[in-house]
Chains A and B, each alone.
Chain A
Amino acid sequence: MSTTERAGAPGRPPLPAVLRSVLAVEVRLFLREPLTLVLGVAMPSVVLFGMAAIPALREPSPDFGGMRFIDFWAPTALVLGLCLVGVSHLPAVIGTYRENGVLRRLSTTPVHPGVLLVAQLIIVLATMALSSLVLVVASWLVLDIGLPQRPLLFAVALVTGSASLVASGMLVAAVVPSARAANGVATLLYLVVMLVGGLFLPRFLLPEVLVRMGEFTPPGVQLLMDAWWGRVDSTNPHAVQLAVMAGITVLAAAAAARLFRWE
């Protein structure tokens, strides 16, 4: 053959088949180290049940507008699970893959390493959905916490809120050089989200500025609360909060895509 002759390039396998094969392996890897699954899915409910073991927190109180503390705190538990998976786990996995050259090796194949990121996103979003479902159903069955009163709004808020968290997590994952760095930065982000989300102090004790932040930092805990309790009136800017979460998602995802380093 002559050197100018082009290599006979065979076609490439269809993308869905490749994604299936990568996803199947990544799911197995995820299940082989089930810490995230266990923590992310079980911990929110376990912590909430722990709170409920304290009798005073099961008594309706005027502080919460006649609700019990555990009613009031359930959305915080929900955010705890979302955050563990989307903000802590995701950057750690991608950081490890970058540090160990897994992404780099993949980039030597005909397949774009982005396929691996898509597989990770699917796993993370599915785990977040499972975590939310378990928390809402367990609170209802065991603690008699009402199901979300505005189910549709709740579902939309949950989806956009989760997306905004995952996009923020992906932005961290895009640039951290290693698993250690990922843990450091992710922990910081995690603390902010959970502070606003009311993990360290119940949100009714938080200063006004942090309460307001809860309307506009991922995952939009205020909206989740309102939709859960059915406290929806025309003065609450729900559409604005949803739009903000969607905007954060788009911006963070675009920045992550732009900044993403494969090695």
Chain B
Amino acid sequence: MAIIEVANLRKRYGEKVAVEDVSFSVDEGEIFGVLGPNGAGKTTTVECVSGVREPDRGRLRVLGLDPSTDRTRLRRVLGIQLQEARLPDRIRVVEALRMYASFHQHPADVGELLSMLDITDRAGAQYRTLSGGQQQRLSIALALVGRPRVAVLDELTTGLDPRARRETWKLVERVRDSGVTIVLVSHFMDEAERLCDRVAVVDRGRVAALDTPERLVARASHERGGGRATLEDAFVSLTGGGDLL
């Protein structure tokens, strides 16, 4: 059952068309990946879905809500981790979490979130002293503190070391197992292959492919005429770089 529906989304910034025509739907309980090269329009797409940006055209529904008109209600049921948003330098981890928790009627337990994200020992640390990975995990925690039904995570493992990435993957799976539907923007094919039930490959503002990672790989293997392809091969050929294969 679709929990997110996007039909013919279009968004321009001035003259620049960021999203030309994007449609997809996400089922409840899915981890849905949004892949694509830099500047493809991934962030713009998920920001429109989250009600952070106003689309120019297209029909959007999240849990039956229209992100443009039901913004306030949407924000109570959708958590988003923005690609580029910092916190004040001197805020402590636990202060930020408690403050964001106070924005919700039934927030998650701050202590539990800290331990789930493995930053309990940094609870008293100021934001500026956190490593990139710890800042990232705090950012995820803030997106989850309102117990959302849908979580949008934009490049959540960019800048993490391999170990932290794997930890974060486990975390995402745990969040999904708790019943949260997840939209995951990523540049990492291994991440998409491991986590995503289905992915949309976005290229120059359009959906170039929409399928399970396995089927995308199978199709790429077939096109290549033998030999097992990887999701990365599929990605490269789908995003207009076939000559790189």
A interface residues with partner B (beta carbon < 8 Å): 1-13, 17-18, 21-22, 25, 28-29, 32-33, 96-97, 100-102, 104-105, 107-111
Contacts and interface: CB of A to CB of B under 8 A. Distances in A.
Given A1-B28, A5-B64, A9-B76, A111 B52 contact: no
Interface of B: 1-3, 5, 28, 50, 52, 61-65, 72-77, 79-80, 82, 84-88, 90-91, 95-96, 98-100, 102-106, 142, 146, 149
Nearest to A4: B64
Contacts of A5: 63-64
Sort A-B residue pairs by CB-CB distance and give the 3 closest, nearest first.
Answer: A101-B85, A7-B63, A21-B102
Contact of A109 (B3, B5, B90, B100): B100
Given A108-B50, A110-B103, A32 B90 contact: yes
B87 A102 contact: yes
Contacts of B149: 7
Contact of B80 (A12, A25, A100, A108): A108
A28 B88 CA distance: 11
B76 A10 contact: yes
Contacts of B85: 100-102, 104-105
B107 to A, nearest CB: 9
Nearest to B61: A3
B2 A107 contact: no
A100 to B, nearest CB: 4
A114 to B, nearest CB: 13
Given A3-B1, A6-B64, A111-B103, 13 more contacts: A3-B3, A7-B74, A12-B72, A21-B102, A22-B102, A29-B91, A104-B85, A105-B82, A107-B52, A108-B75, A108-B82, A109-B100, A109-B103
A38 to B, nearest CB: 16
Contacts of B106: 10
Given A6-B64, A108-B82, A17 B102 contact: yes
A108 B96 CA distance: 14
Nearest to B5: A3
Contacts of A7: 62-65, 73-74, 76-77, 149
B77 A9 contact: yes
Given A4-B64, A9-B73, A32-B90, A25 B95 contact: yes
B241 to A, nearest CB: 31
A22 B105 CA distance: 15
A104 B61 CA distance: 22
A45 B99 CA distance: 36
Residue from B5, B103, B105 whose CB has the most chain A CB atoms within 10 Å: B103
A222 B186 CA distance: 61
Contacts of B52: 104, 107-108
B103 A13 contact: yes
Given A1-B1, A7-B73, A9-B77, A110 B84 contact: no
Contact of B86 (A1, A101, A111): A101
Contacts of B105: 10-13
Contact of B84 (A12, A13, A97, A101): A101
Contacts of B3: 3
Contact of B87 (A1, A2, A105): A105
A12 B146 CA distance: 11
Given A6-B64, A110-B146, A25 B86 contact: no
A225 to B, nearest CB: 38
9 contacts: A3-B2, A5-B63, A13-B102, A18-B103, A25-B91, A100-B86, A102-B88, A104-B52, A107-B52
A88 B149 CA distance: 42
Contacts of B75: 108-110
A101 B52 CA distance: 13
B144 to A, nearest CB: 12
Nearest to B73: A9
A81 B113 CA distance: 43
Nearest to B82: A105
